[in-house]
Amino acid sequence: MQKILRFVVGALAVVLLSTAHAADFRTRDPLKAFLYGEYPLGSDYFIEGNQDTFIFRCVLTKAIEPFEGLALSEISIWGNRTGPWEIFRKESNGDFVYVETKHLADTSCLETCRSKEYLSSGHCTWKRGWPRQ
């Protein structure tokens, strides 16, 4: 019984510490952090690598979320036009703080960019809607 209790307490500590670490992640460039895995990603993005894939972005407003920020995702894990999003809250100083991984109920804000554009230039030309492949 004590072994089971120790295991449960240990597993709970790992979960709490990893959640706290993710919540502390701050960046000026969430897209760079997402593409280069600068924080513990919340899902299995980039199944075929990050060199030539479609990146998804939704600019979050208080009409969508309780805060302003960005939601980022990537096409290889989406299946039938749904998938997880990495959520970043924008701070008053311009930094972004990683909040969580979750699904968005409304993806009408969807914009796309090729990852190779960002990787070669450091910028994305965002296009509204689902990508044309």
Q: What share of the chain is helix, strand, coil (3-state, %, to 5)?
A: 30, 25, 45
> Which of 6-10, 84-88, 104-108 is the least confident region?
6-10
C-alpha 70: how far from its chain's center? 8
Domain boundaries along the sequence of the chain: 26-128
| Predicted structure pTM score | 0.78
pLDDT value for 15: 38
Q: Is the pLDDT of residue 48 over 80?
A: no
What is the signed CA dihedral for 108, 62, 30, 104, rounded to 10 degrees? -40
8 phi-psi bin (left φ>0, alpha ψ -120 to 50, beta other): alpha
pLDDT value for 80: 64
Q: Is the pLDDT of residue 23 over 90?
A: no
